[in-house]
Amino acid sequence: MFNNKSLLITGGTGSFGKYFLKHILTHYPKIKKIVILSRDELKQFELENSIDKEKINKLRFFIGDIRDRDRLKSAFNGIDYVVHAAALKQVPKAEYNPDEYIKTNIIGSQNVIDAAIENKVKTVIALSTDKAAAPINLYGATKLCADKLFSSANNVIGSNNIKFSVVRYGNVLGSRGSILPFFLKQKNKSFFTITDKEMSRFNITLKEASLMVEWAFKNCVGGEIFVPKIPSFRIIDLAKSIDSKKPLKIIGVRPGEKIHEEMITSSDSFNTVNLDKNYYVILNSSNDKLNKHYLVKKKLNKVKKGFSYNSGTNSKFLSIKEIKRLIKKIK
């Protein structure tokens, strides 16, 4: 799919962006060009030096911010596919800096949409988060708004043959800002700090997330939100998998934090399709094309009314043994 085509990754020096870049370079050796768009020149320098010399000629590094509409329009020139991974994502920081999160996660997302339409990009896949479902914090609210922008962008493309879709997944174990690096730093301390003993999270690996985004490019109609069927883990089990004997210090839930996360709410159930063993799809109710594709052409069924996909009631939880195996792979 990507051979002889051009790909741009916003937030390309983040955890997902770096992994997806190397995934594409490995599996699509004939890709024409990959543009890495990010704000940090040092991270771009470090990423550039981590790529094999025979592949480096495929890369272009753009220093820029998705808040800058003109810079985006320039970067998107000649691009076929876009992965939108750039975002501000720290939940507590969002509560104290709401205007900055709105500028990046909402206005920046609209700038991505406008630049893609103007440059006649073929497909844009935007990365979302479980915190966008029934958000109680500002970060989740900005990501929900971004989801709506990308889903509804398909209604304003005019004669352009462009598709906007969203991939929504949970915690990426080991990624920058996730709980695992935090616990590993506490490994040599006298205790682990835990916000709540009941807390759970969805889990997906960078490899699984990359494969899902690649799959979404190949299968999206435009306007849908793809949700993976993935396991949950208990935060307390993650701590035990690192050191089962270390005591726990309960510090209380942080500002904007949930005990359990959701990826599909009961309100979403009215527009959610059970796609296959790997994915659910949330349809945009204003997009008839989606209904025709999934409900008529594919003859798929919607989930039961009131269904919700919650990390605390998930049918699959990772055991401590399974978490240990995942940590070894990440290390």
Tens digit of each residue's pLDDT (9 = 90 or more) over 295-317: 999 999 999 999 999 999 999 99
User: Tell me: the pLDDT tens digits for 97-120?
Assistant: 999 999 999 999 999 999 999 999
Which domains does the chain possess?
A: 6-170+203-230+263-311 (3.40.50.720)
Distance separating alpha carbons of residues 37 and 9, to the nearest angstrom: 6
Return the pLDDT at 193.
92
User: pTM for the full model?
Assistant: 0.95
Distance separating alpha carbons of residues 116 and 126, to the nearest angstrom: 12
**131 carries an active-site annotation:** yes
Return the pLDDT at 8.
98
> 180 near 158, Cβ under 8 Å?
no
DSSP 8-state assignment for residue 313: S
Distance separating alpha carbons of residues 3 and 27, to the nearest angstrom: 9
Which residue in the list 18, 58, 131, 143 is annotated as catalytic?
Answer: 131
Return the pLDDT at 252.
93
Segments in the chain below pLDDT 70: 177, 331
Amino acid at 15: S
| Cα–Cα distance list, 17 to 11, 78, 309 (Å) | 6, 20, 26
Return the pLDDT at 220.
97
User: Tell me: the pLDDT tens digits for 250-288?
Assistant: 999 888 889 999 999 999 999 999 999 999 999 998 899
Amino acid at 284: N
Distance separating alpha carbons of residues 68 and 312, to the nearest angstrom: 39
- For the chain, helix (H) and strand (E) counts, in that order, are 12, 16
CB atoms under 10 Å from CB of 227, counted, come to: 26
Contacts with 147 (C-beta within 8 Å, 6 or more apart), sequence order: 126, 128, 132, 166, 168, 225
User: How would DSSP label each residue in 177-213?
Assistant: TSHHHHHHHTTTSS-EEES-TT-EEEEE-HHHHHHHH
Quote the strand ranges of 70-139, DSSP E: 81-84, 123-129
For the chain, the C-alpha Rg in angstroms (whole number) is 20
Contacts with 245 (C-beta within 8 Å, 6 or more apart), sequence order: none
Percent of the chain with pLDDT strictly greater than 70: 99
Distance separating alpha carbons of residues 118 and 293, to the nearest angstrom: 27
